[in-house]
Structure 1
């Protein structure tokens, strides 16, 4: 059977990872998140790289201009004054310069200068970002050569605090935008996948609700659906038609065989009983053999009757003569019949009012006698059987025994056809394994319900519930 597809977004449970919807949603959402996250990281790296490239361009500009300007000024003033004038011309509120000779002594510097900049170690031509008093700087250094003579090192510090703040705001905005985009994308993906899987949900609904007698009537038609889903629906429809034909043939065979065997077996049973009654000259062994043959023949006839009832129910041909009855009176009649053939005491507890239901009287007798017979067979002779009648919103009939009981693990199977809790004991009691299956079928046909409460070695309670009138 197709796996049940979750019907809507609110029902998604991510611990059920075998769901196709969740797998598709999780996979596509993960790929989308990785894609958008990769783009965000790439943009972050690209913007930082752009910032560093811009500073490198500034450094290259200064590196090319600074020696030339120093040479010009040094023709008019001393070399130190020339360096200072050049630094003053290039400096502004964002760019700070200072020059150290080969002895690490500061010869010239910008008017606006932070001494903390000189405490930084390992400054070279590769720009690096540092934080000083919540101010971000890009710092690098380069050797200064005049007339092919190394005079010292020129250091450049560029304040990028504003750019850093702007960059941080941009990254935050980009992160929020990515989260929102991923969220919207996931919701859109879930809705789209839910819409795309609706044909599979429909197929699942059809498969869950179809009954055996309507297999051939199923029609699964889809419009504007993918070819794969159409092919699946067509294959399922053809399979159901084949199953329907097989089911009909099986039921017809069962009905025909049961009907054809019942009559000769009834005749055989009659002849055996007649021979047994008139067999004064039979030995004890012969009489025992005939008794066993009569018992088995009667048991086989009962089995065929049960099979015929189930076949009629499956084909929808079971005859029901629905009428309003007073349950109290009919139960007393049923108890009298059961006490007569079993010799067991059956107690009746009822409310002081008439309880009316609409059922087939003969079928209702069959149900109750079957359950009482079941209670008698599986409880010891020194125990009593209790029947309770109650009326709430419905009519409730409880049949209670104090017998061997049924284990909890087996209670959901006892209404299956041919199922026996104890195979050996069923053989001794003459059970066919169809009694409770017939009871459930008849109860359901009359709009009733049957439930069971049982404990091993403490007994069982079968409860019949019918709409009260």
Structure 2
């Protein structure tokens, strides 16, 4: 069995780097650091108070013991006086013992003699001179060693072992509780911060949703209204609103300019083209060079007229002035008619029709324009030996028309842009084969104007398939 590791998508990564996540993580991290510092400080302070209190008690015993031994030794022997001093200062939590210069035990607490507590304490050899906390046999002991000098005589070493297990255990329990409380507070605080930041960023999210689907046609209709937003966000929204309004005016002026220029130039160019064609028909005395020049001029004039007509069609569509004469169209008959109209093409065109009739609501002339544009485009980019296929089918409540070729194909990076105006996949090839660069853009406009959709599937050097879907009538 192979395990396939899934990697995060671009969308998931974008969520991880969003402003909301960054603010939440940043503020939560700072809050956690601050809270951790407070908890650590409290624990350290409690530990210091606990240990310092017991250390002071240990130092007090270490300082008092020699004087007690001296007092008792005035009444009894030195050894008995040492034992009495130990018995006087010992308690269940404090164990004392004295070792002679040779390491022999001279005196010790009763609990040590009986072996009830502090096993192995008297055998320790590395007890520090200053009080130090050590864990021995699962208990916490504060150990200290000092020289025992009585009346100027060095009797040996005096050892103190104070059992602070109860206090230390209580401290550790309190510290665990503080850590647990700190963890719970951190989780609640992070959730509260995330909720607050999410609400604080709602105006930006609403502004993003409002502007996400803006198109050139809707620039002037967008209204960015934010209530209860911070002043900085309101200022940003006002700036964006002003920019969108200016863009709308500029876009409208540009469309009007293109429409006016196209309309004004089409008439004189049509006259020029007519005179050129008339001259070619009647010019029997023209030289070959003159005829070639006139034919080139006539061809370019026709191409420019077609370009202007395409621009006018697009301008009308954008301004809502392109009207469709909708009627019931039998696509079987229309494609058969298209097949007859493209007989003169160098590349053969074949059609594939279903047995049943497929009917849609559409403008017959506009549909002819759509299919002729697609066939013309396929012929330009196909090999003359490979036929173009027009295939009609009906899938549920949709009519499916496909225009397939076996030409050069379209790279994947260009497929999302081929319906843009003047966009060409290969500029050099496009100039050689002619065309205005508006054909596919007009096709998309006409198809969508008749409530259809168009999409493309292509592979380089294997061909291209344009698929048009219309609801059946």
2:404 maps to: 400
Other-structure match for 1:274? 278
- Is the Cα–Cα contact under 8 Å of residues 73 and 81 in structure 2 kept in the other structure? yes
Q: 1:313 to 1:120 in 2, by over 3 A?
A: farther
Unaligned residue ranges in structure 1 (runs of 5+): 1-10
Alignment of 1:216-231 (within 5 A): 216-231=220-235
Q: Is the 8 A contact 2:346 2:384 kept in 1?
A: no
Once the 2 structures are TM-superposed, how far is the Cα of residue 203 of structure 1 from its aligned partner?
1.6
Q: Say whether 1:335 aligns with 2:344.
A: no
Once the two structures are overlaid, the 10-residue window that deviates more, 13-22 or 304-313, is: 13-22
Q: CA deviation at 1:224?
A: 1.4
Residue 287 of structure 2: aligned partner: 283
Displacement of 1:123: 2.4
Q: Using a 3 Å threshold, how does the CA distance of structure 1 residues 279 and 466 change in structure 2: closer, same or farther?
A: same
Say if 2:362 is the partner of 1:359: yes
Alpha-carbon shift at residue 311 of structure 1 (Å): 1.6
Deviations 1:22-81 (A, max 9, x none): 221221122122222222322332232222111112113323443443343333322222
- The answer on 1:378 being equivalent to 2:361 is no
Whole-angstrom CA distance in 2 between matches of 1:194 and 1:312:
44
Q: Return the alpha-carbon distance in structure 2 between the equivalents of residues 199 and 104 of structure 1.
A: 81
> Residues 336 and 245 of structure 1: is their aligned pair in 2 closer, same or farther, counting only changes over 3 Å?
same
Look up the match of 1:110. 109
TM-score (normalised: structure 2): 0.91
After superposition, give the CA deviation of every residue in 1:238-296 in whole Å (9 maximum; x if it has no partner).
11111111101111101100000011101110111111111111112111111111100
Instruction: Return closer, same or farther for 1:409/1:13 CA change in 2, 3 Å cut-off.
Output: closer
Matched, 1:193 2:197: yes
Residue 19 of structure 1: aligned partner = 18
Matches within 5 A, 1:295-310: 295-310=299-314
Q: Is the 8 A contact 2:55 2:142 kept in 1?
A: no
Could you report, residue by residue, the CA deviation over 1:149-174 in whole angstroms, capped at 9, with x for unpaired residues? 54433211112223333333333322
1:175 corresponds to which of 176, 179, 188: 179
Cα separation, 1, equivalents of 2:191 and 2:179 = 18
Q: 1:419 aligns to what SS in structure 2? A: coil
Answer yes or no: is 1:467 the counterpart of 2:471: yes
Q: Distance in 2 between matches of 1:35 and 1:157?
A: 38
Whole-angstrom distance in 1 between the partners of 2:463 and 2:347: 16
Q: Tell me how far apart the structure 1 counterparts of residues 303 and 274 of structure 2 sit (CA, whole Å).
A: 13
Residues 335 and 346 in structure 1, CA contact (< 8 A), matched pair in contact too: yes
Partner of 1:32: 31
> Residues 231 and 126 from structure 1, CA distance in 2 versus in 1: closer, same or farther, beyond 3 angstroms?
same
Over aligned residue pairs, what C-alpha RMSD do you find? 2.2
**Is contact 2:400-2:467 (8 Å) kept?**
yes
Matches of 1:363 and 1:240, distance apart in 2: 33
Q: Which deviates the most, 448-457 or 268-277?
A: 448-457
Cα deviation for residue 127 of structure 1 reads 1.8
Instruction: For residue 106 of structure 2, give the secondary structure of its aligned residue in structure 1.
Output: strand
Distance between the aligned counterparts of 1:14 and 1:163, measured in 2? 50
**Does the Cα contact within 8 Å between 1:325 and 1:358 map onto a contact in 2?**
yes
SS in 2 for 1:136: strand
Give yes or no for the alignment of 1:254 onto 2:258: yes
1:320 and 1:149 map into 2 onto residues whose CA distance is 124
Secondary structure at 1:443 match in 2: helix
- For residue 312 of structure 1, report the CA deviation from its aligned partner: 1.9
Aligned to 1:442: 446
Out of 298-307 and 96-105, give the one that drifted further.
Answer: 96-105
Provide the secondary structure at the position in 2 that maps to 1:51: helix
Deviates more, 1:63-72 or 1:278-287: 63-72
Question: Equivalent residue for 2:47?
Answer: 48
* Counterpart position of 2:5: none
8 A Cα contact 1:14 1:22, kept in partner: no
- 1:389 matched to 2:392: yes
User: Normalising to structure 1: TM-score of the pair?
Assistant: 0.91
Q: Give 5+ residue unaligned stretches, structure 2.
A: 1-9, 113-117
